[in-house]
Structure 1
């Protein structure tokens, strides 16, 4: 029998073990099975053409490499499972909190406040914050006046407005502003031209979805679904 005929060695191994009572639940070649196969090859090699040592070393090296890759794969799988568990735990802690995301509309909660921010590219002598209800009707116009370049932070509760931590000498003339969805439009006079600025607004996290890849998706009240990476600020 040729020593290089692996099928013959496998056949001999099968004959020797046909009466065994244990049945493997896996088709993978385990360490014990590999060593038994190697022993069977040695027992059935042609004495006139013995197998070279280098061939055994090559087989051992190949098996060791495959086994190492298998262990690495299992370790990575354990790490991935642990990572997803941590992500899920982090996600659960976000429910009920408020975050700020890039959007022009959000929900004013009962007895709550909407906070927002805009980046002003250059100094302006006039900045206004207009607020529209779900029907598109203007319900408030907050005159923020002259502002320098940079980030402007504002807060609004339906009656009072605060800009950069200062309460404006202004009070809404509307007394019927209630909780609901509102759209914010911030415009500034830049070099004689009225320009609308992008806004980021606060919203409450209703629920969080953890994807198969571990990505968190925040489902925000009155806003919709946003990726965790899109959050500008945790309030």
Structure 2
């Protein structure tokens, strides 16, 4: 055996890297790594065998590759369990009412509509404009002076003249006065969950709300009956 061929065999592992590292050339799995290590041992120079330290380092590389494979398997198992948990959680939400940060809601005007707003600072005058599906103002809920925090409000489903309006989609525009300035507020409105959509590749669970579209589960403030 020529020394040149021994050197070539002795450096054959240098052409590869462990999986999940930046590749120099080819991707190396644990089986390929072991085959190359055996080939290197078979072709080493008997008069100048491989250094013990270098051999141990290569075995450590092999152990690392095998550990990464086991870790990937464990992570895949955890992800599968998480997705199953999401599916179970999703099935329990269908048909229930949730509170979400939105300015639109499907309102059954035969019942008192209850919602809330977020007031960042105390205001001398807080009110809520109610719009119908055509964008026309049908009523204003005057709440007067309010302290900072979550502020509840109600609407009886009637217009400014006291006429009962039909059920359907309505928009709620909450505003607060601060001196000569008026600021819009975030409203928390109820909605019914029609169905759910599981996120792709472990993504967030999406709730499909009646008349409102989809919203991520993380944005839900309260889950009701």
Looking at structure 2, the residues matched to 155 and 82 of structure 1 have their Cα atoms a distance apart, in angstroms, of: 42
1:232 to partner: Cα distance? 2.4
Does the 8 A contact of 1:3 with 1:49 survive in 2? no
Cα root mean square deviation, aligned: 3.3
TM-score normalised over the length of structure 1:
0.70
* Secondary structure of the corresponding residue to residue 115 of structure 1: strand
Q: Is 1:105 matched with 2:104?
A: yes
Q: Is 1:218 matched with 2:207?
A: yes
Looking at structure 2, the residues matched to 5 and 194 of structure 1 have their Cα atoms a distance apart, in angstroms, of: 78
Could you give the per-residue CA deviations for residues 123-152 of structure 1, whole angstroms, max 9, x where no partner exists? Answer: 42x443332211123333333344333321
Looking at structure 2, the residues matched to 183 and 45 of structure 1 have their Cα atoms a distance apart, in angstroms, of: 80
TM-score normalised over the length of structure 2:
0.73
2:195 paired residue number: 207
* Secondary structure of the corresponding residue to residue 131 of structure 1: strand
Aligned length: 203
Does the 8 A contact of 1:108 with 1:157 survive in 2? no
2:31 paired residue number: 30
Looking at structure 2, the residues matched to 43 and 128 of structure 1 have their Cα atoms a distance apart, in angstroms, of: 85
User: For residues 38-187 of structure 1, what are the structure 2 equivalents within 5 Å?
Assistant: 38=38, 42=41, 45-109=44-108, 114-120=113-119, 121-124=121-124, 126-156=125-155, 158=157, 173-175=162-164, 177-187=165-175
1:167 paired residue number: none
* Secondary structure of the corresponding residue to residue 30 of structure 1: helix
Q: 1:75 to 1:113 in 2, by over 3 A?
A: farther
Looking at structure 2, the residues matched to 101 and 133 of structure 1 have their Cα atoms a distance apart, in angstroms, of: 19
1:78 to partner: Cα distance? 1.0
Larger radius of gyration: 1
Q: 1:58 to 1:147 in 2, by over 3 A?
A: closer
Could you tell me which runs of 5 or more consecutive residues in structure 1 were left unpaired when the two chains were aligned.
Answer: 10-26, 160-170
1:188 to partner: Cα distance? 3.9
1:107 to partner: Cα distance? 0.7
* Secondary structure of the corresponding residue to residue 202 of structure 2: coil
Looking at structure 2, the residues matched to 58 and 86 of structure 1 have their Cα atoms a distance apart, in angstroms, of: 42
